[in-house]
Structure 1
Amino acid sequence: MSADNALRWLITGANSGFGAAFTKAVLGAGDEVVAAVRRPESMAEVVAAHPDRVRVVALDVRDAAAAERAVKEAGRVDVLVNNAGYGIVGAIEETAETDLRDAMEVMFFGPLRLTRLVLPQMRERGSGAIVQLTSMGGFMSFAGVGAYSAAKGALELASEALAAEVNPLGIQVLIVEPGEFRTGFAKPAALTIGAAIPDYAETVGAIRDGLPASDQQQSGDPDKAAAAVLATVGQPNAPLRLALGPDAVGAIRGKLATVAAELDATAHLGLATGFDQD
């Protein structure tokens, strides 16, 4: 893994879904991949096809020691892609605390741990990029995905602060907010689904039934999403956020409009909370 001028991308969850699409796109661009996956054997075909440009490291992002080993084995990391994650469905009351904590471990604490581990070398070089895969559900939420959105939203807000901290040091932060794409995200076996409480059937039932049913029916093409990310990483004056898919663009616009309307409607109350002047 020493191609001149090639960037080295450390990608978590590189063996499936968006991770596999990113890996394919990065290799297609002539760059190198360090694939951080829980099952290294799942990358065998990719390694066989690109033995000089793919390295596989074992990583469960919950494991702090494994994260340190993965970054050490990777060596130089030009681009970190925090992609690993999974779907959680259920009303807040239906979500077990163990599931809520695991979501935060995988989709918040794990990505920030890896981010902190690669930042020293990026600061030393004065270059690098950190790509945080959140979701349109990291910017807005709705009934039945509160735990998932909480984890993704926490990563999104931490990354907004991170960008303000590291952009002056030559390091880019890109928050990627996909909508529905034809990955394995919605496979019933891949989802964590809370035990149903009948009172929530009307509000949560649609996502409880609809998300698993959508598997492999989504309109979004992961390869096109990966191409959009590669087109944005490293560009001058790049945006902080990249919404992917018509559903994500529409939902985020709707959230912005709702927040603006509520702010306008309540501004007179918020503006009148100062101490009275003598």
Structure 2
Amino acid sequence: MIRQGESRFGGIDVLVNNAGHGYRAAVEEGEADEVEELFATNFFGPVALMKAVLPGMRMRHKGTIVNISSIAARTTEPGSGYYAATKCALEGLSRGLQKECASLGISVIIVEPGAFRTDFAGRSLRQSRTAMNDYAATAGLRRIGNDVTNGHQIGDPEKGAELIIKAVGSLEPPELLVLGSDAVKVVSDALSTDLAQVEAWKKNSIITDYSD
């Protein structure tokens, strides 16, 4: 598809890695084959596409890569550990790529959406084949049969897409784009919590350096 796009349009200007799906399971409940498929879709698929478009973007010194992550990469709910892990991996790779490509005229935007009224929580959502009783009050609450959020999410997909387009077309594309009022609160609270944890242990942390 990359070759077809380059042949038809003369080059790929923007890649949006949007394909992906959720997976609900306590860490202990996760099935190896399901987790491997999840990473293949949410992480290794985007990696393959990025590597496919980068040669052309480098040659033209122009291009934008948009990687759709999730607020799950900031704060992980019980039962979403594996899904969050795929998004943390995608964000880590994206941050490295940002530094590698900035001088080449290539922008990389990490998008962290909140809850949007898409099919994510509908037929695209999957879960482990097994459910353990000990996790019923934690991860179990978010299994598909107990999730009533689908169709009631606060985010409007059209407005989200419009903002992504605006960011891609801006003179200085953001390295991080947060979508939705819920996402703004989650990300802001997570950053504040992390900073508080760093400050609380700062005196202990710095003593691990070698002494002169």
Report the TM-score, using the length of structure 1 for normalisation. Answer: 0.72
Any conservation in 1 of the 2:141–2:147 contact (CA below 8 Å)?
no
Report the alpha carbon displacement of residue 143 of structure 1 after superposing the two structures with TM: 1.1
Report the alpha carbon displacement of residue 206 of structure 1 after superposing the two structures with TM: 2.7
Give the unaligned 5+ runs of structure 1: 1-69
Partner of 1:71: 2
State whether structure 2 residue 112 is matched by structure 1 residue 181: no
Report the alpha carbon displacement of residue 210 of structure 1 after superposing the two structures with TM: 7.5
Partner of 2:204: 269
Report the alpha carbon displacement of residue 126 of structure 1 after superposing the two structures with TM: 0.7
State whether structure 2 residue 43 is matched by structure 1 residue 108: yes
From the superposition, tell whether residues 159 and 210 of structure 1 become closer, same or farther in structure 2 (CA, over 3 Å). farther
Partner of 1:190: 124
Which SS does the other structure have where 1:239 is aligned?
coil
Partner of 2:179: 244
State whether structure 2 residue 94 is matched by structure 1 residue 94: no
State whether structure 2 residue 92 is matched by structure 1 residue 157: yes
Report the TM-score, using the length of structure 2 for normalisation. Answer: 0.93
Cα distance in structure 2, aligned partners of 1:210 and 1:139? 25
Cα distance in structure 2, aligned partners of 1:118 and 1:139? 28
Q: Deviations over 1:75-98 (max 9, x none)?
A: 121100111000100111111111
State whether structure 2 residue 193 is matched by structure 1 residue 219: no
From the superposition, tell whether residues 147 and 179 of structure 1 become closer, same or farther in structure 2 (CA, over 3 Å). same
Q: Aligned partner of 2:4: which letter?
A: E
Cα distance in structure 1, aligned partners of 2:35 and 2:99? 28
Report the alpha carbon displacement of residue 237 of structure 1 after superposing the two structures with TM: 2.2
Any conservation in 1 of the 2:117–2:153 contact (CA below 8 Å)?
yes
Any conservation in 2 of the 1:129–1:234 contact (CA below 8 Å)?
no
Report the alpha carbon displacement of residue 275 of structure 1 after superposing the two structures with TM: 2.9
Cα distance in structure 2, aligned partners of 1:213 and 1:130? 33
Q: Aligned partner of 1:190: which letter?
A: S
Cα distance in structure 2, aligned partners of 1:215 and 1:153? 24
CA RMSD of aligned residues (A): 1.4
Higher relative contact order (CA 8 A, sep 6+): 2
Cα distance in structure 2, aligned partners of 1:210 and 1:142? 17
Which SS does the other structure have where 2:194 is aligned?
helix
**Bigger shift: 106-115 or 231-240?**
231-240
Identity in percent: 39
Q: Deviations over 1:49-108 (max 9, x none)?
A: xxxxxxxxxxxxxxxxxxxxx111111211001110001001111111111111111111
Partner of 1:127: 62
Partner of 1:203: 138
Q: Aligned partner of 1:74: which letter?
A: G
Cα distance in structure 1, aligned partners of 2:117 and 2:126? 18
